[in-house]
Amino acid sequence: MTPPLSVQLYALGAAPAADPAGVIARLAALGYEAVEPLIQTGIDEAVAAAWVESLPQDIGDPPAWQPLDTAVLKQALDEHGLIAPSSHVTLPEGAFANEILDEQEMLGCRLLIAPALFNGEAGAPESFSDLDRIKQIAERFNLAAEKARARGMRVGYHNHFWEFGTDFDGRSGLEVFFEMVEPDVVAEIDIHWAYVGGCDPAKLVKSLGERVVLLHIRDGDKTEAMTSCCPLGEGEVDLPGVLAEAGSVEWLVAEPEGTSEEDVWPVLEQYRDYLLGNDVSR
C-alpha cells in the first residue's frame, strides 16, 4: 500500500504559526494523517543567515521562518487526530540537546531530521565534496544518534542538491555519508532536490534501501528547486519510479515549496489525489 501522507509545515508559509488549529483542521479534512514541523530550538541565527547567503542566486530566497508554539501545535494535532512522526530540527548536540529531545518527546516525534540548513558549517554545500568533511558530518550524526536512541528516537539527514556534486567511485557524497553513519540513522530523501543535483531519485532510493523512511515529495525541473513547484506528474521527476522503490518508506511528506499561501490548498489536494491514485505495493 502507498505510505500514509504527511505535510511539511514549512511549505505552508506563515499560516501554521499564525493559526495552527485552523491549519491542522484543514489538513485533516483533506485526508492528511501527519505533519512535519520545522522547530527552531537551538538554531544559530548567524550560521543560518550565512547558509542562506551561500545559496545560488538563481534559486531565489527561501520562505521566511515562522516560529511554532510546539505545545499549541500538539494540542491541535491531538484535537484533530493527526501526529508529528518527524520534525526538522537541529541535531540534538551541545547545550540544546536535552531541550530538543524533550520538545520532540512532547510532540510524540520519533524521527529527528536535520536538514543541512541546521547543521552549521557541516552542512555547507562544499561539505560533500571531500571525504574528510563527510566523515566529520557522519561523526556528528553518530553522536547525536546515540543521544536520540536513549529516548527511543532516531536522527536522520535531509538532502539538497550539493550532496551529489562529487563522484566517489560511482557513489554520491550522500551515499558515502550513509556508509559512515550508524545503521539507525535514517534518510529523508527530497526527490526533487536529488533530481536538481543530477541524481536519479528512484535509483537513489533503491541504493539506500531500508535507510529511506521518509520522502519529500515535489515535482519540477532542474531550474526550479526552491521557490517553484508544479503539480505532481507534470514535472521531470520520475515519481512512479520513486514510489515503486518506496518499500521501506514510512511517510510521504508533501512539500509544495514556493507555492503561495493562497494557492497551497488546491495544490495539496492535487498531491493527495495523485499519491493515493498511485497506490504502490510495498
Cβ–Cβ < 8 Å for 88, 112:
no
In a domain, 141, yes or no: yes
Q: Is the pTM of this model over 0.75?
A: yes
Query: 48 vs 92, 190, 215, CA distance in Å?
Result: 17, 20, 24
In a domain, 282, yes or no: no
In a domain, 202, yes or no: yes
In a domain, 19, yes or no: yes
pLDDT at residue 188 greater than cutoff 70: yes
CA atoms within 13 A on the CB side of 194: 26
Whichever domain contains 37, its CATH number is 3.20.20.150
In a domain, 52, yes or no: yes
Q: What is the pLDDT of residues 246-279, one digit of tens each?
A: 999 999 999 998 788 788 999 999 999 999 986 4
Cβ–Cβ < 8 Å for 252, 5:
yes
Range of the domain at 50: 5-277
Quick one: pLDDT at residue 59?
Answer: 41
Q: What is the pLDDT of residues 53-90, one digit of tens each?
A: 655 454 444 445 567 899 999 999 999 999 999 999 98
Better-predicted residue by pLDDT, 122 or 193: 193
DSSP-assigned letter for residue 243:
H
In a domain, 121, yes or no: yes
* Cα four-point dihedral sign 157, 140, 56, 11: positive
pLDDT band at 44 (very low <50, low <70, confident <90, very high): low
What are the cell numbers at 242?
A: 520513486
> Burial level of 179, CB count in 10 A (0-12/13-18/19+)?
exposed
DSSP-assigned letter for residue 246:
-
- Give the chain's domain count: 1
What are the cell numbers at 73?
A: 501545535
In a domain, 171, yes or no: yes
Cβ–Cβ < 8 Å for 174, 164:
yes
